[in-house]
Amino acid sequence: MTLKSELSNVSRETMERLRLLEDLVAKWTPRINLISKRDRATIWDRHIADSAQIWQFSPEKPETWADFGSGGGFPGLVIGAFAADENPRLQLTLVESDQRKAAFLRQAVREMDIRCQVLAKRIEDVQPLAADVISARALASLPKLLEYLQLHGKENCVGIFPKGRRSNEEIEEARRDYRFKVTATPSITDEEAAILQISEVARA
């Protein structure tokens, strides 16, 4: 699968939401630094398309999805854009402790017209979400993410976590404290990265 094919078959409505997100991030970033200065010219490829590939790993019609450290909306708002058309009953929750970024997320949710709640709290302070899917991008090490997954995931929860060149090291580190099933799929936007699908998590 290529980046082009990943986005070539999306609906007109989904594409409009994604383009709106691109505009909103560009508009808000000078004020609250949603993305780095060097990424402003490549929001689509660096952030939106990179987040879009996560959607393909979604289980069949999940009911609840939690995205942690949502920041500029990646991947959470991108997931919401796809879900609005392909799984409109999905209950999506974005957790972001930074109050200004949470304000951006709420504004984007309204303008993109997606079904989503935004929690401006630390992940540790959120009541268990009982999510079918948990995602996080550039948030924490894999052991920490598995801790969050155990706290906020249902029994059969799937974690979908993009990881960089140290993904294998993080897997081995996590295995010291956890047993889990993992599938690593090469990223279509970064040859050194992989998308980790984590399930069946238990303390070792």
Annotated binding site for S-adenosyl-L-methionine: 69, 74, 123-124, 137
Annotated binding site: 69, 74, 123-124, 137
Q: What is the DSSP string of the chain?
A: --HHHHHHT--HHHHHHHHHHHHHHHHHHHHH-SS-GGGGGGHIIIIIIHHHHHHTT--SS-SEEEEES-TTTTTHHHHHHHHHHH-TT-EEEEE---HHHHHHHHHHHHHHT--EEEE-S-GGGSPP--EEEEEESSSS-HHHHHHHHHHHEEEEEEEEEEE-TTHHHHHHHHTTTEEEEEEEEE-SS-TT-EEEEEEEEEE-
